[in-house]
Amino acid sequence: FAPWNDPEAKPLIQFKQVTKKFGEFVAIDALSLDIFEQEFFALLGPSGCGKTTMMRMLAGFESPSSGSILLAGKDIAPVPPNKRAVNMMFQSYALFPHLSVWDNIAFGLRRGGGSKEEIAARVEEMLRLTRLTKFSRRKPHQISGGQRQRVALARSLAKAPKLLLLDEPLGALDKKLRQDTQFELMDIQEKTGTTFVIVTHDQEEAMTVASRVAVMDEGRLVQVSTPDVIYEAPNSVYVADFIGEVNIIEGATAQEGEAVTITWAEGQQPINARSTLSLSPGQKVHFAIRPEKLTISAERPDDAANAMTGKVLDIAYLGNISTYHVELPSGQVLKAQSANTRRIARRSFTWEDTVWLSWTDTAGVVLEQ
Contact residues toward ligand ATP (CB under 6 A) are 22, 25, 27, 45, 47-53
- In terms of CB distance, is 27 or 285 closer to ligand ATP? 27
- In terms of CB distance, is 54 or 185 closer to ligand ATP? 54
- In terms of CB distance, is 28 or 249 closer to ligand ATP? 28
Q: Is 219 exposed, middle or buried (0-12, 13-18, 19+ CB in 10 A)?
A: buried
- In terms of CB distance, is 27 or 365 closer to ligand ATP? 27
Nearest-CA neighbor of 172 among 197, 194, 140? 140
Nearest-CA neighbor of 15 among 88, 65, 84, 79? 65
Q: What's the closest the beta carbon of residue 54 comes to ligand ATP, in angstroms?
A: 7
| Number of neighbours of residue 57 by Cβ within 10 angstroms | 22
Q: What's the closest the beta carbon of residue 233 comes to ligand ATP, in angstroms?
A: 24
- In terms of CB distance, is 230 or 336 closer to ligand ATP? 230
Q: Rounded to the nearest 5°, which phi and psi values hold at 61?
A: -80, -20
- In terms of CB distance, is 48 or 301 closer to ligand ATP? 48
Q: What's the closest the beta carbon of residue 145 comes to ligand ATP, in angstroms?
A: 21
Reported as type and span, the H/E element at residue 316 is: strand 306-317
Parallel, antiparallel or unpaired: strands 195-199 and 25-36 = unpaired
Check: CB of residue 271 under 8 Å from CB of residue 289. Answer: no
Q: What's the closest the beta carbon of residue 108 comes to ligand ATP, in angstroms?
A: 25
The Cα–Cα gap between 90 and 217 comes to 23
- In terms of CB distance, is 50 or 310 closer to ligand ATP? 50
Q: What's the closest the beta carbon of residue 167 comes to ligand ATP, in angstroms?
A: 8
Nearest-CA neighbor of 197 among 17, 366, 39, 363? 39
Q: What's the closest the beta carbon of residue 219 comes to ligand ATP, in angstroms?
A: 7
- In terms of CB distance, is 50 or 140 closer to ligand ATP? 50
Q: What's the closest the beta carbon of residue 318 comes to ligand ATP, in angstroms?
A: 27
Helix/strand/coil for 246: coil
- Is the backbone of residue 250 left (phi > 0), alpha (psi -120 to 50) or beta? beta
Q: Can you state the angle between helices 175-192 and 116-129, rounded to 10 degrees? A: 130
Residue 359: HSE in the Cβ half-sphere, 13 Å Cα cutoff: 25
Nearest-CA neighbor of 146 among 173, 182, 179? 173
The Cα–Cα gap between 119 and 30 comes to 42
Q: What's the closest the beta carbon of residue 23 comes to ligand ATP, in angstroms?
A: 7
Check: CB of residue 321 under 8 Å from CB of residue 339. Answer: yes
- In terms of CB distance, is 53 or 208 closer to ligand ATP? 53
Q: What's the closest the beta carbon of residue 137 comes to ligand ATP, in angstroms?
A: 36
Check: CB of residue 360 under 8 Å from CB of residue 274. Answer: no
